[in-house]
Amino acid sequence: MFNPLAAGPRLVRRTVTRQGIAVAALALALLAKGSAWALGAVAGGGAIIVGGALYGVLALGGGIAPAVGALARLVLGLLAKWFVVIATLFIAIAVAKLPPLAVIGGVVVALVVQVLALAGEHRNGNP
């Protein structure tokens, strides 16, 4: 039986898993350039993964609610996601001095996989 309330969290879990695999593959490839590069890719991709998971928990975790409450959860989730992403990127680049290109590469890989995962679910007929 299809449970529409479980579809959102299930999609978040599937997307986060795919992002983790892609970021790990990028980090493994960048390991040849140095451990700082691999760690930078993990930091950048990890920021997107953790932010996306946090967004999923905050935005989709409340069940059925009035429109104002649902919209408030969406906005809160979005703000929390981007706060985590920006703070992590700042710490990775400015404080830890990881290679910026590797950090941004991790972000790009995680975001591309996110778009592909969401487009693939829509194409398969799932909302």
Q: Which 8-state DSSP code applies to residue 64? A: S
Record the pTM: 0.89
User: What residues contact residue 118 under an 8 Å CB cut-off, 6+ apart?
Assistant: 11, 15
Quick one: pLDDT at residue 24? Answer: 98
Quick one: pLDDT at residue 8? Answer: 77
User: Tell me: the pLDDT tens digits for 78-124?
Assistant: 999 999 999 999 999 999 999 999 999 999 999 999 999 988 866 65
Q: Where does the pLDDT of residue 3 fall: very low under 50, low under 70, confident under 90, or very high at 90 and above? A: low
Amino acid at 72: A
User: Tell me: the pLDDT tens digits for 17-56?
Assistant: 999 999 999 999 999 999 999 999 999 999 999 999 999 9
Cβ–Cβ < 8 Å for 93, 103: yes
Cβ–Cβ < 8 Å for 43, 96: yes
Cβ–Cβ < 8 Å for 75, 100: no
